[in-house]
Amino acid sequence: MNLHLNRMNLLVLIFTVLSASSAVYLISSTWNYLHFYPSLDQLQPFIPQVTLSGLSTNQSRIEVKVILENPQGYTGITIVNVYTQLYFNTSSTSLFQDHPLVTTQNPRIPLGGDGATSFLVGYVLGQNDTSTFTRFYNSNAGHITAHATFTIRLSTFLDAASGQILLTREANGSL
């Protein structure tokens, strides 16, 4: 009789643990989901650094360090694709504003909750653009602002139902 009671107690214990773990899973999933839409609204890119190389050659390279910040707790976002348009300006003139420099990156980087991730966006300038940019840079050094428009493709749990999410964000950085 005692053996039967122990089996019954074990069964009750197993179902109690299973129920408790299911409740914890549901609560954490709900908490994560509640941060999904606020996270999309608050995703913001920053440009902390713009570097130049090869200005004295026929082909120069511009690299923009981008930090994408997710101030919310949602953890199910992956950055799949980033299409970037870039131009430069000073207080009195601009360069590449009418025909911005464009590039596409496919970083496939997970973006954690309450955090940030960074990646580099690179542009290779041809000979004509290099000489134009070099003149612009030499006459305005220290007063140039880089303006970028990012079209960011995100992968989330909604991919199967409605496809990936596209966000457009802008950021500025000093050169």
Is 155 inside a domain boundary? yes
Q: What is the pLDDT of residues 139-161, one digit of tens each?
A: 998 899 999 999 999 999 888 88
Task: Check pLDDT > 70 for residue 4.
Answer: no
pLDDT of 93 higher than 70 = yes
CB-based burial, 140-175: b 16+ in 10 Å, e otherwise: beeebbbbbbbebbbbbeeeeeeeebeeeeebebeb
Residue 87 belongs to what domain range?
35-174
Q: Is residue 3 part of a domain?
A: no
Count up the domains in the chain and report the number.
1
Position 16 in a domain? no
Torsion of CA 107, 113, 114, 118, to 10 degrees: -10
* 4 part of a folded domain: no
141 within domain boundaries: yes
CATH of the domain at 104: 2.60.40
27 assigned to some structural domain: no
Domain assignment present for 66: yes
Is residue 148 included in any domain, yes or no? yes
User: Could you read off the pLDDT of 101-110 as tens digits, one per residue?
Assistant: 999 999 899 9
Residues 6+ apart with CB under 8 A from 76: 32, 36, 156, 157
Reported as a single tens digit per residue, the pLDDT across 21-72 is 998 888 887 777 788 888 889 999 999 999 998 877 777 899 999 999 999 8
Which pLDDT does position 1 carry in this prediction?
A: 47
Could you tell me the pTM of the whole model? Answer: 0.81
